[in-house]
Amino acid sequence: MIALDIGGTKTSIFFSEKKNLKKFKKEYSSIIKEIDEKQKFCVIPTFFKNSKNDFIEFFSMLKSFDKEIISTFPGIVKIEKMQNEFKFKLFSAHFPFLIGKYIDVNFAINDVYAFAYYHARKFFKDPDNREKSILCIQIGTGVNAVHMNFYDYKKLIFLRKIFEAGHITLRQGKGKCFCGRKGCAELYVAGKYLEDIGKGNPLIVFKNNAFKKKYYENLSWYVSSLILVVSPDKIVFGGSVAKSLDIALLHKLVEEKFPHFRIHLNIEYEKDISRISNLYGLIHLYKKFKKRYKI
């Protein structure tokens, strides 16, 4: 099996067979940014996102290595059942030539679903957590969140839901989002905002106190809105921006957004910046999906 975690800029590829990673390394050495032979994965730029030909060529090359391909995609992946067969329809601004088309892979899902499944699996292992719920927020180029309880997790109900938490209206802003709306959260709490403010370098925002204050203010309003709707017991932050996040500070600011409650929200915060979590989540989710639907 080959598992891909396709991001807006980088793609991680896991090879179940070590020999396939070796083969890939030999042919694609010039574009490999990172490689972990022990964990059998490597990272390349998402070079195949703007051209249909590059995409077709890249996927047929992978299929020549291994017939079983599973992948995350940025954007919405809708799972449709057709005569006992599951099909995966993609709606992603990163892949304009694939909008509304079925992707020819064994399993596909949005990346935050894979991330959330990885953490839900750990969370619900503890029987004490089975009456609780978990919210997983990924902040990268964009932002999205998946919320689930034990039943959603166990029966894979969360896969039937379309989570698009990045496009909640956060402000009556002027900036237009790629989705066609204005004032989307994604414009104020994700990578694009950090890049704009940092004039191309998102990390500057975390080093400049005025910028930092502004960003944490946006993010804490956003997170507190999500909490008001789903009331999670645990929140896990992931994605490239999470690396720079001060979770304790965010936690404090979010708690301050609830003065009318005057209660401790009792939410556990965690951040996960490992590259492999999405891939492991995807693989476990695929195995569970096959078992659940007897594929």
Nearer to Zn ion, 179 or 203 (CB): 179
Q: How far is CA 281 from CA 5, 41, 129, in A?
A: 10, 14, 19
Least Å distance between CB 139 and Zn ion?
A: 15
The Cα 186–Cα 198 span in angstroms is: 16
Q: Take residue 145 and report the two structure tokens written for it.
A: 């969140």
Stretch touching Zn ion by CB under 5 A, among 15-23, 175-183, 225-233, 246-254: 175-183
The Cα 256–Cα 224 span in angstroms is: 9
Burial category of 27 from C-beta neighbours within 10 Å (exposed 0-12, middle 13-18, buried 19 and up): exposed
Least Å distance between CB 189 and Zn ion?
A: 12
Using CB under 5 A, pick the residue from 6, 77, 148, 184 that binds Zn ion.
184
Residue 181 in the binding site for Zn ion (CB under 5 A): yes
Q: Take residue 163 and report the two structure tokens written for it.
A: 């989570």
Residue 179 in the binding site for Zn ion (CB under 5 A): yes
Q: How many residues bind Zn ion (CB under 5 A)?
A: 5
What is the per-residue binding string for Zn ion in 143-172, x denoting contact by CB under 5 A? ------------------------x-----
Residue 192 in the binding site for Zn ion (CB under 5 A): no
Least Å distance between CB 177 and Zn ion?
A: 3
Q: Contact residues for Zn ion (CB under 5 A)?
A: 167, 177, 179, 181, 184
